[in-house]
Structure 1
């Protein structure tokens, strides 16, 4: 099970024994101070990996344990997911725009300060984006079950999540000093990541939102490819 770290937002994966009760997964909680329990106390969303298949789930506590309810898609839930997707994408787009403004506006003598600010922003942004994609991967399982015709688009989006993850690691390497820090190299890597993310968001919105809101999915064909890093 993967949860969002209650303090950092970083994905935390924990192996847990469980038992089935209908469509729910029940987990005993002998230690209420366990990190994953604290995580669920802050955000009840979790991604379960069962048989190598991710499932989005919501945690509901009961006496002595937690019941994990896998996501099921109906008309109302589909519309809610569509709205939530746009909100998350809007937040991520704002974060990218803010980082670009910092890159564009900092004079050379402020570059060390910019480096520290971008590093802090990247940690927050990257953790948030990784959790967003992990949760999406879990939600995609339920979406595909409700909308089998979306399987090709969902498979592409899953693959793009992997590409985005590699691009974020390359950007993080520059900011962490594991690669040579130069303004031009940083800007080039940042634009590569930003371009890939925007195309990913656009493809996802065009293909998933109509179906989740009750219409048909638009196939963008070869448009909106995520640009690999390196």
Structure 2
């Protein structure tokens, strides 16, 4: 199970024994200090790995004083599809704003003359990268339900999953550059940053062009 770390916002993946209960899963926490349990109390979205396939799930606390959650797997109908489309645009807008803030750190004087720029960019990168990783992990889980409802989207979803992996590697390269020691060259940093930013914008544009029309159409998904 992957949750969002309640303290850092980073993805947290934990091996949790879940019991199947129809289309839902039951997860019991051994104690109130279980990290994944605390995470879900703050942010109830989770991604479950079931037989190697990611599934988006929403956690609802168990009743009767039991410590745990009922995990409802995402199912996509016409109304849910439209809601996913709207939320997708909200997330993309938030991520685009974060990119713009990071780009603003690079504008102005050369990096050599601004010793604080590395710290500023690193701060933006930590916030942005954590948000993007969570966004993509949750999307991977949602894609499973979307593909079931809209089989015709399978080729686009396959490409988007592959792009998630490419973006993840690019973020690691950028983070490594910012975390490294020694002089930080403006040109090298700008090149790496623009590679990430341009790749993301292409990814967002492809996703919006290929998923939104299907998710927003009034018709009923395939049975």
TM-score with structure 1 setting the length = 0.90
SS in 2 for 1:105: coil
Instruction: Tell me: CA distance 1:203–1:107, structure 2 relative to 1, closer, same or farther (3 Å).
Output: same
Alignment of 1:145-156 (within 5 A): 145-156=148-159
| Higher relative contact order structure (alpha carbons within 8 Å, sequence separation ≥ 6) | 2
Alignment of 1:1-230 (within 5 A): 1-62=1-62, 63-64=65-66, 65-108=68-111, 110-177=113-180, 181-214=184-217
Query: Once the 2 structures are TM-superposed, how far is the Cα of residue 107 of structure 1 from its aligned partner?
Result: 4.6
Conserved 8 A contact 2:56-2:138: yes
**RMSD across aligned C-alpha pairs, in angstroms?**
1.5
Query: Once the 2 structures are TM-superposed, how far is the Cα of residue 180 of structure 1 from its aligned partner?
Result: 6.1
Query: Once the 2 structures are TM-superposed, how far is the Cα of residue 32 of structure 1 from its aligned partner?
Result: 1.5
Conserved 8 A contact 2:19-2:27: yes
Instruction: Tell me: CA distance 1:90–1:151, structure 2 relative to 1, closer, same or farther (3 Å).
Output: same
SS in 2 for 1:66: strand
CA distance in structure 1 between the partners assigned to 2:72 and 2:177 by the alignment: 40
Conserved 8 A contact 2:111-2:185: no
Runs of 4+ in 1 over 2 A off after TM superposition: 105-111, 178-181
> Gaps (5+ residues) in structure 2?
none
SS in 1 for 2:54: strand
